[in-house]
Structure 1
Amino acid sequence: MYTTYKQHGQNVTIYVTAKTGTLPDEGSLTLGVLSSDGARFTVEQASDLKVLNDSSAETVYPAVDVEDSGNSGGTQEPDEPTPPTEGEDGDGSDGTEDQTTYAITIRTSTGGKVTASAARAEQGEVITLNVAPNAGFELSSLTVTTSAGKKLSLADKGNGKYTFTMPAAAVAVTALFAPQETEPDFPFDDVAQGTWYYEGVRYAYEHGLMSGTGEGTFSPDLPTSRGMLVTILYRLAGSPAAGSASFTDVAPGQWYADGVAWASANGVVSGYTDGSFRPNDTITREQMAAILYQYARLQGKLDSGRADLSIFADVDDLSAYAKEPMSWAVAQGLFSGVSADMLAPGGSTTRAQAAVILTAFSKALG
């Protein structure tokens, strides 16, 4: 702990007194005289400190626990303000001036340290705090409060520097540090920030819903296949145990085989009348709406919201099986028209569109 005293034109005699036994000179040993000449000086180490002024009036201070630095972090308990010192001015006049200072206590959590420009200060002094997080950490919160619990205003000066004005009370500086949040590497060179699908692709990638098509590529403009969509939903469901698919064109061991088998067994897909699933076919917008509808039903997340599709001029192009699912999907905000009055139910869905739709779908399911 560092204890700072201001003296004006006074000499300070420092004594060391034994706690047990006696010392020469009636129990006290004079070590020396320190004259401040009106400037501030610091007592860096002290125990049972006793300060005498020139008139031999004494002020007794309590024991002080000294650490390597009172402003390097950890906890330093506040103490009482330094009392005023009386003395004579250089011209012989009796000048009495209050020089009360108040302690600045610093408490920090693991992950960094805070230093202050002073360990004690008078009311009105501007104190600078230097915040230094450790590698991999960042400042989470920084507060300065008085012993009465009043929070002081802090000014952020940039580069880890903050200032506050010292009140007429001891203060405690509390700094909390937290591990820095790091974003997973985003490997796709063909998905630029600022594109309408960037956040959707990023979410789908980070949550394991979609992966790339090659080293460093996502291929946002490629169409989404039926096998891709079913595999994505299978991952979203947690990749549960799956048997064998009964479709004639889904061979065991194919990358989509488990997803198709699981989706078929749970009524998420039904395939074509000829017994095929056609995993490599581009999925249409109405097929995607129907599959998402059935997945929501399976998860117990199928609410009653429905949209009026009569505003779309091509609503009659919807297949019978897709009318209810598409009405639901539009109400959920998963689909909108490709223009003001065209729904394009038979149109294809690109991988970028699929990523955006699946991101909204995943968030809606909670």
Structure 2
Amino acid sequence: MVFRDNEFRNITGDNIYAIHINNGDSPISGLTITQNQFSGAQDSTKNGGVYATVCGTATITNNIFANMGFNGITLSGSDGIKTVVISDNKFDQWATHGTGEKDGRAMRLSNLSDATTLDITKNSFICDTMQEEIIKVTELGAEQDIDLSYCYWNGLNPDEIIGEGQGKILLVRDDTTEEGTNENTQLGPYYTAPTMRPEDLNTYVPSSSGGGGGSSSYSVSVDKNIDNGSVTVSPKSASSGRTVTITVKADEGYELDELTVTDKNGNEIELTDKGDGKYTFKMPRSKVTIEASFVEIDHQDTCPAAGFRDVDEDAWYHEAVDYALDNGLMSGVSDREFAPGSTLTRAMVAQMLYSLEGKPAAGSADFADVAEDAWYADAISWAAGEGIVSGYGDTFGPNDPITREQLAAILYRYAQNEGYKTSQSGKGTEGYLDASSISSYAVKAMDWAVNAGLLSGKGNNTLAPTAGATRAEVAQIFMNFCENIAK
């Protein structure tokens, strides 16, 4: 939709706009408003120039908005908004409604977090009775750039007008109003005279001497030949002394190796590491170039199981062992061995669940073979008290190998105790040749464990319910449980 070479005069009435486009759930996909004149009526009602909800592209250029009773432009983005250009316009008096309410701005922009380009440059803002901000922009992304350079700000210095209140530029990111310097905003050079000739807009070069043209802005370039990661910068040009933020993101499996910023003479600029992949530097009096390199992460440097000589890097259980070690569920049988093929004892399984629960306070174990000072005493006492484990009469058998059906029953009770879903659909143990050998107490638990993907066959279409579970198998079962059930 295009509005070109029109004159809208004597706009009058509260909440009346010369151009009002608000289709709710069906915003227009593109809007161009150029070379128009908008002037409000002398009765100073709450009128405005443009009110629109847009997706795609919005271009508002080379217009005059004069004597607006309320906002000159009210623009809201919708899903799919990509580019917003509001440039080369003159805003001459706004908020003239005279109702006593302190509201009205040259621009009121919202819902633009999906826009990749926000260009609000080369505009002139002239107002004698500003009550609120010159521009208010809300729902910006935390790292979203907005270019506000080459504007005339009613005689004000733009470096001092980011914030909230009269004669300010208010930017709201992630529901937080930003005060002071906005590192994601390119204010850049600005005009000190309200009259801007068309030829000035394309040829103006600000003075670097501090005289009437503002301050010089220098480019920030990122090397285009960066592999295995990305580097973004904000702003993309800045005056001397301004803070520039670099955001580094490595591809999966890679990490940052080197990051350098150099000025035009090749001198390296000092960087400050802000954490979470962000670095800052102060802009020198020249253009700068940013270079970065990424290297593949050495698995041995980050792998929890790297120190165990019996955990092969390509083994089917390697990831599960890493998970169990990293989450404090299991440890090695020695400094150099994990023993993935060894069976796990009943005490060890109780200890794993106890660790998973955060090791809450426990009473004393009421089993003859569980000494009060045993390393597993608290775990068994807690698990038995919660009805998660049971013994053989007055004994527990802490050193007995855990069987697959016992493990299924213990996890089933723990899941019920925690309120996790235990009604997964599926055929359960039906069809396995040894399903009839499952102990009666464990039938329902085994059905659940198979349907939930915790247990699978052992070969020859059998489940081996009474066979011992190896440490590797238990690590895999616990990882599956934590990632798929305990959520």
Decide: shared fold, TM above 0.5: yes
Query: Do structure 1's residue 276 and structure 2's residue 429 form an aligned pair?
Result: no
Q: How does 1:39-58 map to 2 (within 5 A)?
A: 46-48=209-211
Query: Do structure 1's residue 159 and structure 2's residue 293 form an aligned pair?
Result: yes
| CA drift at 1:158 | 7.3
Q: Kindly provide the amino acid, as one letter, of the partner of residue 291 in structure 1.
A: I
User: Match of 2:156?
Assistant: none
| CA drift at 1:239 | 0.6
Partners of 1:317 and 1:248 in 2: how far apart?
29
Query: Do structure 1's residue 350 and structure 2's residue 470 form an aligned pair?
Result: yes
Partners of 1:346 and 1:321 in 2: how far apart?
13
| CA drift at 1:184 | 6.8
Contact in 2 for aligned 1:268/1:295 (Cα 8 Å): yes
| CA drift at 1:194 | 1.6
User: Match of 2:408?
Assistant: 289
User: Match of 1:63?
Assistant: 214
2:477 is paired with a residue whose SS is helix
Contact in 1 for aligned 2:247/2:277 (Cα 8 Å): no
Instruction: Name stretches of at least 5 consecutive residues in structure 1 with no aligned partner.
Output: 1-42, 49-60, 80-104, 120-129, 142-155, 161-181
Structure 1 residues 157 and 45: alpha-carbon distance in aligned structure 2, compared to 1, 3 A threshold? closer
Q: Kindly provide the amino acid, as one letter, of the partner of residue 223 in structure 1.
A: T
1:292 is paired with a residue whose SS is helix
User: Match of 2:328?
Assistant: 208
Partners of 2:439 and 2:245 in 1: how far apart?
65
Partners of 1:223 and 1:114 in 2: how far apart?
52
- Of residues 189-198 and 356-365 in structure 1, the stretch that sits farther from structure 2 once superposed is 189-198
Structure 1 residues 76 and 113: alpha-carbon distance in aligned structure 2, compared to 1, 3 A threshold? farther
Q: Kindly provide the amino acid, as one letter, of the partner of residue 311 in structure 2.
A: V
Query: Do structure 1's residue 190 and structure 2's residue 320 form an aligned pair?
Result: no
Give the structure with the higher percent helix. 1
Partners of 1:203 and 1:133 in 2: how far apart?
35
Query: Do structure 1's residue 237 and structure 2's residue 400 form an aligned pair?
Result: no
Q: Kindly provide the amino acid, as one letter, of the partner of residue 243 in structure 1.
A: G
Structure 1 residues 349 and 185: alpha-carbon distance in aligned structure 2, compared to 1, 3 A threshold? closer
Q: Kindly provide the amino acid, as one letter, of the partner of residue 281 in structure 1.
A: D
Partners of 2:413 and 2:304 in 1: how far apart?
33
Instruction: Name stretches of at least 5 consecutive residues in structure 2 with no aligned partner.
Output: 1-205, 222-232, 249-257, 280-289, 295-300
User: Match of 1:14?
Assistant: none
Runs (4+) of structure 1 exceeding 6 A deviation are: 110-114, 116-119, 130-138
Query: Do structure 1's residue 326 and structure 2's residue 446 form an aligned pair?
Result: yes
Partners of 2:323 and 2:207 in 1: how far apart?
55
Q: Kindly provide the amino acid, as one letter, of the partner of residue 47 in structure 1.
A: G
User: Match of 1:29?
Assistant: none
User: Match of 2:424?
Assistant: 305
Task: Decide which structure has the larger Cα Rg and report it.
Answer: 1
User: Match of 1:218?
Assistant: 338
User: Match of 1:339?
Assistant: 459
Partners of 1:131 and 1:332 in 2: how far apart?
55
Match for 2:385 among 249, 253, 265? 265
Spell out, residue by residue over 1:323-352, the C-alpha distance to the aligned partner (whole angstroms, 9 max, x if none): 000000001100011015111101111101
Match for 2:372 among 218, 230, 252? 252
2:430 is paired with a residue whose SS is helix
Contact in 1 for aligned 2:261/2:291 (Cα 8 Å): no
Q: Kindly provide the amino acid, as one letter, of the partner of residue 237 in structure 1.
A: E
Match for 2:319 among 199, 211, 218? 199
Spell out, residue by residue over 1:245-295, the C-alpha distance to the aligned partner (whole angstroms, 9 max, x if none): 00110010101100110111111111113x110000001111110111111
State the number of aligned residues: 242
Partners of 1:189 and 1:227 in 2: how far apart?
25
Higher RCO by CA contacts (8 Å cutoff, separation 6 or greater): 1
Contact in 1 for aligned 2:245/2:278 (Cα 8 Å): no
Structure 1 residues 197 and 342: alpha-carbon distance in aligned structure 2, compared to 1, 3 A threshold? same
Structure 1 residues 131 and 303: alpha-carbon distance in aligned structure 2, compared to 1, 3 A threshold? farther
Contact in 1 for aligned 2:247/2:278 (Cα 8 Å): no
Partners of 1:116 and 1:138 in 2: how far apart?
22
Structure 1 residues 197 and 134: alpha-carbon distance in aligned structure 2, compared to 1, 3 A threshold? farther
Give the structure with the higher percent strand. 2
Query: Do structure 1's residue 107 and structure 2's residue 261 form an aligned pair?
Result: no
Partners of 1:316 and 1:365 in 2: how far apart?
29
Q: Kindly provide the amino acid, as one letter, of the partner of residue 411 in structure 2.
A: L
Q: Give aligned-pair identity as a percent.
A: 36
Partners of 2:412 and 2:356 in 1: how far apart?
14
| CA drift at 1:134 | 6.7
| CA drift at 1:302 | 3.5
Partners of 2:395 and 2:328 in 1: how far apart?
28
- TM-score, reference length from structure 1: 0.57
1:108 is paired with a residue whose SS is strand
User: Match of 2:94?
Assistant: none
Q: How does 1:65-84 map to 2 (within 5 A)?
A: none
